Amino acid sequence: MSVEKMTATTKPKSSGKSGGKNSGKSGTWRGQLVQLAGIVAAVFIAKGALAEPFYVPSGSMEPTLLIGDALLASKFPYGYGTSSLPIQINLPETGRVFAETPKLGDVVVFRWPGDRSQAWVKRVVGLPGDRIQMRQGQLFINDRPAELKPDGVGQAEDDNGGNEPAYRYVETLPNGVSHLIFKMRDNGPLDNTPEVTVPAGHLFVLGDNRDNSADSRVSLRSGGVGLLPIDNLVGRADAVLGSWDLGMRSQPMWTWLSGFRMARFFTAVK
């Protein structure tokens, strides 16, 4: 609220009869409402155009993302479409403005094609024109295997707070991007798939927890992602803002503070 407006409302011009005081109050309230509306609009625009926070409810991206992580997704790297809006409105999809194609290895947040009110997160492993196949649990892109390097054993958390041992690997994609993945078992149901050519305007995405992820290996009809339309992208997952171990919910309330994973606060997503 400007000082000039305050001065004008406290010193109204004489107009004969009473009402100047009430007019001043109403002018002040109008100014406050305009200011509040401006703040709300600025927050809405920033959330819609720059970045938006999301919550990770499942273990499909372990060990990269944990259940209880709070993500920040940057929206500008891939341009803007109806999926970029902070609230979902049923509008016809008209393509993206300032559109850019993700890079192999990017972790992306997107609207699930089966229900656009749901935001999912996966890793991009196939771009338009790429041929993608899983062979004995190893990813092949255009007949080139993604390198797998053993990296010990970790603990994969399930949605109920339980843990299961999982072999950890460093996976390196053909473009040199490396990241961690989990493999909980050999010869899993999604370890061998037919080769798929990614069509124009689509992506092939995988969860880093390869034995616990409904991703592009699973059809939309079966509850997976199928081939992801680029127009469904919300943004790129760039940072973990904070994290809390949901398993603490079964513990006494006074112990809940110990569930904050402080080492994950304000860390980059790789």
Q: pLDDT tens for residues 197-220? A: 999 999 999 999 999 999 999 999
Q: Which residues of 8-38 are buried (b: 16+ CB within 10 A; e: fewer)?
A: ebeeeeeeeeeebeeebeebeeebeeeeeee
Q: Which residues of 65-81 are buried (b: 16+ CB within 10 A; e: fewer)?
A: bbbbbbbbbbbebbbbb
* First-residue to last-residue Cα distance in the chain: 43
- Residues 100-115 have a mean pLDDT of 95
| Residue count of the chain | 270
**Does the structure show a pLDDT above 50 at 228?**
yes
pLDDT at 52: 87
Q: How far apart are CA 64 and CA 200, in angstroms?
A: 28
Mean pLDDT rounded to a whole number for the chain: 83
Q: Using DSSP, state whether 258 is helix, strand or coil.
A: helix
pLDDT at 81: 82
The model's pTM: 0.79
Choose between 71 and 159: higher pLDDT: 71
What is the share, in percent, of the chain residues with pLDDT greater than 70? 78
Give the pLDDT band of residue 2 (cuts 50, 70, 90).
very low
What is the share, in percent, of the chain residues with pLDDT greater than 90? 60
The DSSP call for residue 142 is T
pLDDT at 1: 34
CB 237 within 8 A of CB 269: yes
CB 140 within 8 A of CB 132: yes
- Residues 82-106 have a mean pLDDT of 75
pLDDT at 251: 83
**Which residues are catalytically annotated?**
60, 122
Helix 20-49 vs helix 3-10: crossing angle, to nearest 10? 160
Which residue blocks in the chain are alpha helix, DSSP H?
3-10, 20-49
- Residues 65-94 have a mean pLDDT of 80
Give the pLDDT band of residue 4 (cuts 50, 70, 90).
very low
CA pseudo-torsion sign 216, 86, 92, 90? positive
Give 11's contacts (C-beta < 8 A, 6+ positions apart).
none
Give the pLDDT band of residue 7 (cuts 50, 70, 90).
very low
Helix or strand holding residue 134 (H, E): strand 131-135
pLDDT at 41: 46
Give the pLDDT band of residue 250 (cuts 50, 70, 90).
confident
Structure tokens at 142: 């255009």
Q: Which residues of 202-216 are buried (b: 16+ CB within 10 A; e: fewer)?
A: bbbbbbbbbbbbbbb
pLDDT at 82: 80
**Residue at 178: amino acid letter:** S
